[in-house]
Chains A and B, each alone.
Chain A
Amino acid sequence: MLKGHPKGLLVAFFANMGERFSYYTMLAIFVLYLQARFGLSAGSAGDYYGGFLFGIYFLPILGGIIADRWGYGRTITWGILIAFIGKIILTIPGYAQGLFAMQFELVIIVISLFIISLGTGLFKGNLQALVGKLYDYPEYAPKRDNAFNIFYMGINIGAFLAPYAATGAVKYVLGKKGFLYENSMPHLANLNEKAHPFLDQMIGTVQNHFAGALHYTDKIAAFKSQMGFGGSLTEFASTYTSTLSVGYSTAFAIAAVAMIISLVVFVGFKKYYKHADLTVKQAKEKAEREGKEDTTVTMSKEEEKKRLVALSLVFITVAFFWMAFHQNGFTLTIFARDYTVSEVSAFNYLFFDLRTFIPILAAIGALVFMFRKASSLKTKIISAAVFVAGAGIAYSFYSGFEQTKNIEPEIFQSFNPIFIVVLTPVIVGFFTWLRKKGKEPSSPRKIGTGMFITALGFVVMMMAAFHLQSVTGLSPYWLIGTYFVLTIAELFLSPIGISFVAKVAPPRFSGLAQGGWLGATAIGNLLAGLVGKLWDIVELWQFFGLLVVLTLISGIFIFSVIRILENVTKSSDQQQ
């Protein structure tokens, strides 16, 4: 898969993977941390989270402007350092007591969040721009799309592993004090801290008519006895939350260490991308200094305008893709909760437990290599060993499963990063095969096709909605199938879109254009929430139908302007 690619791609891959791992580790526990440490309600913690995400997606525009003048590598390095400082501040366990001290500490946390988003803003888009620049050479240019597919896989490996690292660290710290990880405890402890004259009364009202309704003290008492704590409820709540807070700080420390690894990779292997790390001005100065011919692309204002128009057209479309795609963490999870069966057989559970699913995937991959004609004897032997190990591990866990197992609705979200990792080599192989036959579609065509595949994903959901009229609970395979189709769409659209931006952006705006791409993603995320509000208003099939229509319109739109997009792509190719 990496054959014929510049080594700089690997540097960017691992630097990005480290940074994304760090970012998602932090994100996995961030809201819970705010609640545990500062007693914030879910709504208030959500406000901080929303503000932080806004910074993460919009500051790359600023980062792009800076890098286009100052240099990409330098901006990226500072980005990693700045984000590292922000994460280090988060690792300091809070010991402040009293309202003023707590508020002061919260201000420090807000400052650290700004520092992290600034660092990410300097890093994220510019690393994409730098990868693009590695492929501005004729020998590499045809592999640009594949390169971004590989680069994208790094993001998803980091994102996939992060929640396990975060919860692992928290569980470890709690375990040392004999506590179990219970993420509802911070909220319960906060409720227990203050008097709730109205909430208590309302709980009583619910209890009058629905026997079994719980008071928060009931729940805390249940956890206290489960964890064998001897003191009072208040002592237990306070000890638990302060230990939890230390656990979160430990997870933030892991996030900070990952930034260091990212920095070491990026700075330590600079020689592999140094040649491409040049702004237009720097390239001209270098040519003058070395007395070489200036090969920098000089572009007329008119050409720049054409390219910026093309980029804007793609940004508009992409916002609609993210709007549809990010229903995965929202309405599709609600669908999983309300309409999908909550219990599956032991066999089906194989695909919901990472301890069995990953070995199965490894075994399937090994099987492919075992029977591939091109595989050497050594590869076949290693593949056979991997197959036996994978199948053995999966079977050993499977044999311990009960006949039926419960599945949590959130678990469906983990299918996307797994599918990304599994499908990237397939998609890359598919495009490589088409290229060899001279039939590889242009990037804009791939993006347009991606929009149609997205529509197809939601057609599956429409069918599920119709099927629901005749059954009480749906098989989980409807959702898994949708996630599978949406992941293929994502691979056609997101890495290829980044590749398109890298190729088409006027050289003096490379960083800014990548920032624009992330800005479009942010608008898409915002739209996802707005469209999601229709969930309770319209019928299920109408909701998914609307997503089908919107993504189809976006796909048609891309194909209606395909000539404009392909013309700018061609002119970029000619200039390389």
Chain B
Amino acid sequence: MKTRITIIASLLVSILLFSGCQSEDEQQGAMLQEEIKTIQQIEERSANIDNPEDAFVLMRDLNQTMKDIRDQILSVEQKYRKASESEKQQLKSEFQEANTQIDQSLKVISGNINPYKDDERVSKMLEKLNEIMISK
């Protein structure tokens, strides 16, 4: 009996500890690199869409990534406001580079999504995308 209790209790406690010890990865390196990587993966996936369900899932993932991009931009802008002139130039050029890459990916994704834009669930996701940059 005691052994059984010990085993199950340790199992539950270890799940608790394991979950509690996980932490989010810190963003490091050039601006928006993680997000650009994700959006490029979405771009690759968009080439293989052949039904509305795939288009919906893809748009859902794109919206999540754009939300992350928005949050990152808002926090970079906070840094930008307090930065010195040289730092501002550095941030600007990093952003231009990131923006160009995002622009290219969005162009491809938009073209591949276009045939499914009238599907109810896809159009709902498109509506969300339209407001994502200014929502909370």
Contacts and interface: CB of A to CB of B under 8 A. Distances in A.
Interface in A207-225: 208-210, 212-216, 219
Interface of A: 35, 41-43, 184, 187-188, 191, 194, 196-199, 201-203, 205-206, 208-210, 212-216, 219, 313, 316-317, 319-320, 338, 342, 472-473, 523, 526-527, 530-531, 536, 550, 553-554, 556-557, 560-561, 563-564
A563 B134 CA distance: 57
Interface string B96-113: 000100110011011000
Contacts of A201: 95, 99
A560 B11 CA distance: 13
Nearest to A32: B136
B36 interface: no
Contacts of B81: 194
24 contacts: A187-B134, A198-B73, A198-B76, A199-B70, A199-B74, A202-B70, A202-B102, A203-B133, A205-B99, A206-B133, A209-B103, A209-B106, A210-B106, A210-B126, A212-B127, A213-B130, A216-B134, A316-B13, A523-B20, A550-B15, A553-B8, A554-B12, A560-B8, A561-B5
Given A198-B73, A564-B5, 4 more contacts: A202-B102, A206-B66, A206-B130, A560-B5
A205 B77 contact: no
B16 A199 contact: no
B64 interface: yes
Closest 6 pairs (CB-CB, A-B): A209-B110, A42-B136, A216-B134, A530-B19, A209-B106, A557-B8
Nearest to B125: A338
B102 to A, nearest CB: 6
Nearest to B81: A194
Contacts of B120: 472-473
Most chain B beta-carbon contacts within 10 A, residue among A205, A531, A554 = A205
B14 to A, nearest CB: 11
A106 to B, nearest CB: 16
Interface residues of B, number: 51
A184 B16 contact: no
Contacts of A213: 129-131, 133
A8 B109 CA distance: 64
Nearest to B18: A530
B106 A205 contact: yes
A212 B130 contact: yes
Interface string B67-93: 001110111110011000000000010
B57 to A, nearest CB: 9
A41 to B, nearest CB: 6
Most chain B beta-carbon contacts within 10 A, residue among A208, A209, A213, A472 = A209
Given A202-B133, A210-B129, A527-B19, A553 B11 contact: yes
A488 B106 CA distance: 47
B30 interface: no
Contacts of A206: 66, 106, 129-130, 132-133
Given A196-B77, A205-B99, A530 B20 contact: yes
B12 A316 contact: yes
B16 A523 contact: yes
Contacts of B37: none
A531 B106 contact: no
Contacts of A35: 136
B130 A184 contact: no
B118 interface: no
B22 to A, nearest CB: 6
Contacts of B95: 198, 201
A187 B70 contact: no
Contacts of A41: 74
A439 to B, nearest CB: 26
B131 A214 contact: yes
